[in-house]
Structure 1
Amino acid sequence: MTRHLAKRSLVLSGHGTSVALEAEFWDVLDGMAAVRGESVAQLVESIDVTRDPGRPLASALRIAALLHVRSSGV
């Protein structure tokens, strides 16, 4: 099964960037942001500032989504 990436443009710390993730990961991140009462850009920025500098942002977002799903018992 081939998964297509969905690209979103975001402003992080005043700089525009694009992130490409599978739609399923965006769905989880959308839900995480809604639960926190913040925008997806705010959520992504909070993940961005805490990630290991050697880890790509897309990878950090996938891991955050996975950890969220695991912690919610799904």
Structure 2
Amino acid sequence: MIRKHSATLHGHRTSFSLEEPFWEELKAIAAHRALPLAVLISEIDDARPADSNLSSALRVHVLAWLKAQAETGG
């Protein structure tokens, strides 16, 4: 099920939609990196291409993280 979430990025509120498994993995990545979730989301937002949306960028980040973890065994 897709859920709408919101965060404050660079002083302004934004919203995005994510399926629950992506949301849970995003929180796990933030915890693993010892970052507040909002900081991780800001990093992903800052790095995404201008023509992409935040929801997609978050999903791609989770996928890339999980693939990297699988490759390194971590």
Question: Higher helix proportion, which one?
Answer: 2
Q: TM-score, normalised by structure 2?
A: 0.90
Give the gaps of 5 or more residues in structure 2.
Answer: none
- 1:14 is matched with 11
Q: Percent of pairs identical after alignment?
A: 37
Q: TM-score, normalised by structure 1?
A: 0.90
Secondary structure in 1 matching 2:38: helix
User: How do residues 56-71 of structure 1 correspond to structure 2 at under 5 angstroms?
Assistant: 56-71=53-68
Please give the root-mean-square deviation of Cα atoms over the aligned residues, in Å: 1.1
Count of residues in Structure 1 that have an aligned counterpart in Structure 2: 71
Give the gaps of 5 or more residues in structure 1.
Answer: none
Q: How far apart are 1:15 and its partner, in Å?
A: 0.3
Instruction: Select 2:22's aligned residue among 18, 22, 25.
Output: 25
